[in-house]
């Protein structure tokens, strides 16, 4: 049975060309890039070439790119690093739909005396620039708003928020893990001071990412050691990962084709009674579908689809054997009896034929689950 992989927001397959380049580094350029001998210098050169390519890609200077292990570390370094370097300012603004690597970091800083405003989103799943502006205070250090939400794929007004922050003299960080390579990124146009990226979401290996830190921004290291990466991220450089990340910049994004297949998927799914798409369809990344089916459990549906070779993700997270609702779906006020029956499908290499198969299987399983559900569709208010 062939697998149909529809979980590209969780991670992506490493691109063939990227994998070949990475393999070559593993085998031929394995020296420590900080070593002073010729092998070390060769590895260093690979790192610096990759840094330059990545910097050019986002309109930054090479010295502004700090390689990290991925999105979680980049977000931690951005937020904790700023907090540590600027102790006189104790207020942070973020949104309720951020990734846990931002939310949990902010919660941790609250325990250390910081005050954090978690601003809400509208029912489309969008942060309003005006809401950010209203919350800025004299002691605001940072605004951290993601570019694209990982669950519902909604695109945030980053340029507008960036402009507000710039005018108010507040640092602006954006978690661009889900937007990088899918939307154009220009750090100057977006007015970001810090920006996080992860390799494994863009067909590069796991364990590599970077944090863009605009020149002049005061950030302290959060991990001590040999002082690599301009003193901001100690640890031996991940040369294969860094080379892989730069190689991933050349991976062709099939925007038009995937958007078309995604739109077909949405159209077909909506034919199933008691179905809703969560979050804005207009301001949304082109490979994301987040869908809810009235009265059923998304987990059961996900497991049934898995048995058919279809990999999707649910809208709720399973924590300590207890099903918890997705905080993102809650934030956009998805009705209670839809919220548990949600799936996230994030498309990559997939054909229209496969999509038809996926929809037919979803239809079949939803019908099956509805038969055993205590919540009958007639009870729904039609939302
Ligand atoms: C929006 C967003 N931020 C951060 C991360 C964390 O990235 P990583 O897995 O590289 O640590 C993810 C991963 O799911 C994400 O979707």
User: pLDDT tens-digit profile of 107-137?
Assistant: 999 999 999 999 999 999 999 999 999 999 9
CATH of domain 254-377: 3.90.1150.10
* 70 Cβ closer than 6 Å to some ligand 1 atom: yes
Domain 16-250 = CATH 3.40.50.300 = no
Nearest protein CA to atom 8 of ligand 1, as residue? 71
* 146 Cβ closer than 6 Å to some ligand 1 atom: yes
Nearest protein CA to atom 16 of ligand 1, as residue? 150
Question: How remote is the CA of residue 313 from the centroid of ligand 1, in Å?
Answer: 15
* 298 Cβ closer than 6 Å to some ligand 1 atom: no
Long-range contacts of 39-48 (CB under 8 A, 24+ apart): 43/237, 43/239, 46/239, 46/242, 46/243, 47/237, 47/239, 47/242, 47/243
Question: How remote is the CA of residue 108 from the centroid of ligand 1, in Å?
Answer: 18
* 240 Cβ closer than 6 Å to some ligand 1 atom: no
Provide mean pLDDT across the span 193-216: 98
- Range(s) of the chain covered by CATH 3.40.640.10: 16-250
Rg (CA), the chain: 22
* 174 Cβ closer than 6 Å to some ligand 1 atom: no
Most informative mutation of 14, 200, 201 for ligand 1 (most atoms within 8 A of CB): 201
Residues 6+ apart with CB under 8 A from 81: 219, 220, 221, 222, 232
**pTM, whole model, 2 decimals?**
0.96
Closest CA to 109 of 117, 98, 121, 97: 117
**Residue bearing the bigger pLDDT, 80 or 325:** 80
Closest atom of ligand 1 relative to the 98 alpha carbon: 1
318 catalytic? Reply is yes
318 — pLDDT class (breaks 50, 70, 90): very low
- Range(s) of the chain covered by CATH 3.90.1150.10: 254-377
Q: Share the mean pLDDT of the chain.
A: 95
91 — pLDDT class (breaks 50, 70, 90): very high
Provide mean pLDDT across the span 55-65: 98
DSSP3 helix / strand / coil % (the chain, rounded to 5): 40, 15, 40
Closest CA to 213 of 85, 341, 34, 372: 85
């Amino acid at each position: 049975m062939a697998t149909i992989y529809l979980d590209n927001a969780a991670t992506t397959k490493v691109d063939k060309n990227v994998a070949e380049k990475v393999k070559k580094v593993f085998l031929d350029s394995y020296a420590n890039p900080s070593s002073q001998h010729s092998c070390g210098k060769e590895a260093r050169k690979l790192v610096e070439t990759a840094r330059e390519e990545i910097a050019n890609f986002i309109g930054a200077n090479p010295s502004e790119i700090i390689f990290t292990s991925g999105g979680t570390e980049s977000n931690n370094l951005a937020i904790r690093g700023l907090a540590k370097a600027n102790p006189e300012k104790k207020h942070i603004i973020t949104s309720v739909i951020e990734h846990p690597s931002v939310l949990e970091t902010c919660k941790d800083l609250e325990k250390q005396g910081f005050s954090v405003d978690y601003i809400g989103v509208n029912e489309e799943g969008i942060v309003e620039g005006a809401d950010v502006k209203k919350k800025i205070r004299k002691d605001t250090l940072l605004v951290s708003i993601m570019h694209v939400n990982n669950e519902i794929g909604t695109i945030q007004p980053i340029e507008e928020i960036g402009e507000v922050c710039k005018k108010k003299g507040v640092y602006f960080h954006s978690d661009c893990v889900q937007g990088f390579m899918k939307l154009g990124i220009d750090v100057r146009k977006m007015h970001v001071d810090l920006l996080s990226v992860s390799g494994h979401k863009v067909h590069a290996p796991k364990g590599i990412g970077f944090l863009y830190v605009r020149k002049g921004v005061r950030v302290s290291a959060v991990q001590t050691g040999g002082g690599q990466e301009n003193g901001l991220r100690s640890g031996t450089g991940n040369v294969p990962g860094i080379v892989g990340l730069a190689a991933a910049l050349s991976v062709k994004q099939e925007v038009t084709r995937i958007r078309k297949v995604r739109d077909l998927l949405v159209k077909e799914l909506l034919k199933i009674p008691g179905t809703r798409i969560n979050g804005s369809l207009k301001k949304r990344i082109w490979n994301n579908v987040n869908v809810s089916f009235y009265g059923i459990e998304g987990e059961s549906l996900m497991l049934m689809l898995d048995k058919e070779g279809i990999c999707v993700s649910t809208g709720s997270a399973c924590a300590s054997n207890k099903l918890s609702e997705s905080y993102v779906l809650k934030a956009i006020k998805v009705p209670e009896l839809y919220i548990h029956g949600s799936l996230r499908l994030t498309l990559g290499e997939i054909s229209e034929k496969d999509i038809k198969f996926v929809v037919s299987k979803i239809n079949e399983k939803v019908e099956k689950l509805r038969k055993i559900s205590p919540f009958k569709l007639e009870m729904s208010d039609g939302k």
